[in-house]
Structure 1
Amino acid sequence: MRQIGGRWFHHNLTGLEAEKLLSLKGVSGSFLARPSHSTPGSFTLSVRRGDEVTHIRIQNTEEFLDLYGGEKFATLSELVTYYMENEGQLREKNGDLIELKYPLISEDPTTERWFHGRITGKEAEKMLLERGKPDCFLVRESVHRPGSYVLSVLTGEQVAHIMIHGKPNGMYDVGGGHQFSSLKELIDFYTNTPMVEKNGGLVSLKQPFNATRFNVSTIDQRMHQLEQENGHGSGLAGFLEEFEELHQETHVKNNPRVEGYQSYNRDKNRYKHILPFDWSQVKLFDGDPDEPGSDYINANYISWPVSYISVFFVCFINTSYSLNVSSFPHLYFPIPWFTNYYF
């Protein structure tokens, strides 16, 4: 269950709102974590048990977290993971078992493309240093402080990480000064007003480092954003900009696509820049060895984890011709495939 990370944490949710949410969207065993409104800095676990909701106080001593006794944990994620994986350890005073089975996932605080969700500081640094431009930035969830976020900015050859504090009143700030009602308002403000570091240096937010993944629940908002120009000088619409960004990723740049660029194969590509990698390219059985390109089709073999689908490979095809399954009896194997590069 570790892959869900802290998505079960709901910022600025009251006890009554938690009960309503769990009753509406949860089942018995569903749970969420939220800030404690009675003890600032601490947290509360809200768990649905049958038709009722139980609230469990989590003590934050600044040195560790615990349930007012018992095991101690460095982070909220460690605490929740422990009680999810060790059934029988979480009980009421009367001995009744409390089970954390189904995390009720929170929605992202924003659909802005610079928000990367739950990635670590190391992951943010790797992306910005490898593919970022000077003063580009992203926002991510804080791994160690649920309900807060981190602004990661490429400054010279280093990445600065600036904590964005989520307040109990639903506001955000970077440690004093202005407060904002949303992450977007905060980023918009500091895009126009550089931040001053303790050493006197300026941190400028010039260009967002956009994420290329998002929650399915926000697909309508993301589609709307991708239809707009980026507003940062290049004039690229979002879809084209994202396509260009994907092609700068290491796994794309380091894999040659020589065959797709050959003059005798160009007319077989529906889009001139969407080409198969040479190492995983699909080849047709009935190609003529004396005719260059006769075994070419714009398609790649893609491996998938066996636990998710019942076959080992699927074939992605991108072509300018009108096709159906009977068009390719001579492919290497008869398996599901998808046309036009959309999946």
Structure 2
Amino acid sequence: MMHYTPTSPTVSVLMMTHDAGKTVRRAVESLQNQTFRNFELVVVDAGSDDTTLRLLDALAERDLRVVVVRADELGRQEALSLALDRARGSWVLVMDADGWAEPSLLTDLVKSAEEHDLDLAVGGFSVSVSSAGPRVSELAASSEPLIYPTQQDFRAAAWQLFASGQLLPASAKLFSRARIDEWGVRFDPEALTDHAFVMGYLREVQRVGVMGGVGYHLSRSSAPALSAGGGSARVRLLEEEHANLLALYHAWGLDGDVASMEMLQNRHLERLVACIEDVCGWGSPLSASEQRHLVSQMIGTESAQLALSVAHPQGSEARALLVPLRAHNVALVCVQARLVSLLRRGSMARIVPDAFV
């Protein structure tokens, strides 16, 4: 059935694809099956070599709400920025080529945003994370429905949404296009994740609503096999994101808030330990000397040392490594991380979903 072309779509869905032939049909069809019909999907394909473009062209031919933009190879942030430039909707939602939405996702988000005059509607999501083995772990980020009527209310409670992993990913959220333009928020081509875009938006956001339940799903792999260069990039991402979160809380005037600062330091330490386990754990392709070099880099930064001195991690993996980490005993940290990895083979470390989104 041919679908109509909305002249003034309420929602613009942004998507980047690259060799997503195995998942993109499900993603697009989950949008076509939405109970909310007045949307457009702007897909920027970043030089796919597989069946992605053929699938997208077939879907776009039958549904004029689907707009396909061909681009050379470019990063996710550049692709989403290009999609945003083409978008015409009053609201913006980011969709992943390996994600899919429950039929009521757009209806629920738009209804809440319009009824409560929100700047941001936050949905719940789940991530299915597959590792090298056969086991798949399900991580979910959701909460009870909440409306934060003022900027002060939201900022005071935001630490809980950061801690659960629900707040940072761009997916499963409805952003006001008017606010995006007013605040000059854009996808940063230098950023490694969408989190920088979200933090730029959160800096000024006023009225926020959180939807109950899970309306969006993704399938992701655990961290890919490391090389020494890949490990360094992960260290940089860890440091940059922590610095950006601290800067956000400073801009909010909450860098003295105990609950918020405790969340940030615990979060940093938990992710630090997860990176160390990737580097030193079972199946790491790195040599012992490469492992020690990367771990020394990770734990030698000022931010890592501060987190180690004040954080109270909840995860057993982080607690198990706390003593050698605080002593800066790199060799023992690597041995302990490998032991922890061996003990929990086939299961996921305690880590919140936004590490994979």
TM-score by length of 1: 0.28
Higher relative contact order (CA closer than 8 Å, sequence separation 6+): 2
- Specify which structure has the higher proportion of helix: 2
- Specify which structure has the higher proportion of strand: 1
TM-score by length of 2: 0.28
